[in-house]
Structure 1
Amino acid sequence: MSDVSETKTVDDIAAKTDGVPAAELTPTEGAPSEMSESVDESDARTPSQLEEEGDIAADYIEELLDIADLDGDIDIDARGGRAYLSVNSSEGTSNLGLLAKPDTVNALQELTRIAVQTKTGIFSRLILDVGGSREARAAELSVLVDTAIERLEAGAESAALPAMSSYERKLVHDVVSERGFVSESEGEGRDRHTVVTRR
């Protein structure tokens, strides 16, 4: 049985932008906590607000791709009360894979959120996917949950997963619930993680 490997969060990757810590670029007063796994009603966006977020984010990513001379098609969607941006390429020879590494996607997502917030004045919870990296990560998270459940079935009272972003923790909670077990988030800040237990 393999140990659950530790992953980096968005704050680890995009700790600074132009010399300013990312935490200082987002207003704390009235901003929803990144520690919450779901979008609460007070933070709910209207379809038009999600569309605006998606359009701003798409413009930002398109400029970045042009500067980096990378090819990619951008699709905008809304999932779970968040704007969801997918960057893909139909060309098999595309160099988009250079941006598809999980750490890179997380950093780009944080920068894109800041770009959206700068234009809207509202904290953004948009999700960025590059080259199917989010689907690949979701599959990895499913394996982590399976490993945790194996520990419980072997007699452990609980199994802790590594720290991860609120979005990833939400995915983990959904998978754990589907498997018939219980999970909750523990810890603060970058150490916030999910603990899996029996019902």
Structure 2
Amino acid sequence: MSADTDTTQHDDQGPDDQAPQEPGSSTASPVEQDSEVGVESGSARPSGRLEQLEQEGDIAADYLEELLDIADLDGDLDMDVEGDRAAVSIVGAELQQLVGRNGEVLEALQELTRLAVYRETGERSRLMLDVSGFRAARRATLEELAAETVTRVRESGAPVSLDPMSPFERKVVHDAIAEAGLSSESEGVEPRRYVVVLPQ
């Protein structure tokens, strides 16, 4: 299989495969290589791993709290562990500037937060950052899109290509397509990498 094509079984390498890189590095960043293959939320994890993820959340929260102070923004920080990654959410009003167009600022902020964690721990991080429920709302929209696309593919019997998406968005679509019983693959090169839904 070519380097620019991946399936839900053989997807993009994620930050699991290498440590976050300093800005300007020739190696792809954690955001660009975010994994499209997830870990089941109910998966058992060793207590040591749980402590590590909680530590990542604490480090991320400290970093983000300082950033909010510098930017003179008000927001509450919620920390959790989802599956095999730490999850941090910034909740508050008037935080759209931390999301940006199509979540571009949020993706960049997530990368910087992962880098802050790496600098403290020396361990690569798959931490997920959300702002004011943007990812949750986007997930619902993408799952609806996936359901509509499954119907189109089944009716036409032909592959359907979706618009370019971020790694997070592609993973949501891949998961929804697989749950519906079809297969999908990612094609193209970042930042215009997209999902193709395949007929059975």
TM-score (norm 1): 0.72
Q: Distance in 2 between matches of 1:177 and 1:25?
A: 27
Aligned match of 2:65 in 62, 65, 70? Answer: 62
Q: Superposition RMSD on alpha carbons, in Å?
A: 3.1
Seen in structure 2, the aligned counterparts of structure 1 residues 25 and 154 have a Cα distance that, compared at 3 Å, is: closer
Q: Distance in 2 between matches of 1:141 and 1:88?
A: 22
Seen in structure 2, the aligned counterparts of structure 1 residues 168 and 66 have a Cα distance that, compared at 3 Å, is: same
Q: Which residue of 1 aligns with 2:173?
A: 172
* Residues 60 and 117, structure 2, Cα contact 8 Å, conserved in 1: yes
* Residues 36 and 170, structure 2, Cα contact 8 Å, conserved in 1: no
1:66-90 Cα deviation digits (max 9, x unpaired): 111111110111112011101112x
Q: Which residue of 2 aligns with 1:97?
A: 96
Q: Which residue of 2 aligns with 1:37?
A: 37
Matching of residue 141 in structure 1 with residue 114 in structure 2:
no
Q: What is the total number of aligned residue pairs between the two structures? A: 171
Q: Which residue of 2 aligns with 1:3?
A: none
Q: Which residue of 2 aligns with 1:85?
A: 88
Q: Distance in 1 between matches of 2:166 and 2:113?
A: 16
Q: Distance in 2 between matches of 1:87 and 1:194?
A: 29
1:95 counterpart SS class: coil
* Residues 78 and 90, structure 2, Cα contact 8 Å, conserved in 1: yes
- Write 1 or 2 for the structure with the bigger share of helix: 1
Seen in structure 2, the aligned counterparts of structure 1 residues 187 and 88 have a Cα distance that, compared at 3 Å, is: same
Q: Sequence identity, in percent?
A: 45
Q: Distance in 2 between matches of 1:98 and 1:191?
A: 23
Seen in structure 2, the aligned counterparts of structure 1 residues 139 and 131 have a Cα distance that, compared at 3 Å, is: same
Deviation at 1:145, TM superposition (A): 1.4
Gaps of 5+ in 2: 1-20, 41-45
1:61-117 Cα deviation digits (max 9, x unpaired): 10111111111110111112011101112xxxx322332331221111111111111
Q: Which residue of 2 aligns with 1:162?
A: 163
Q: Distance in 1 between matches of 2:120 and 2:73?
A: 25
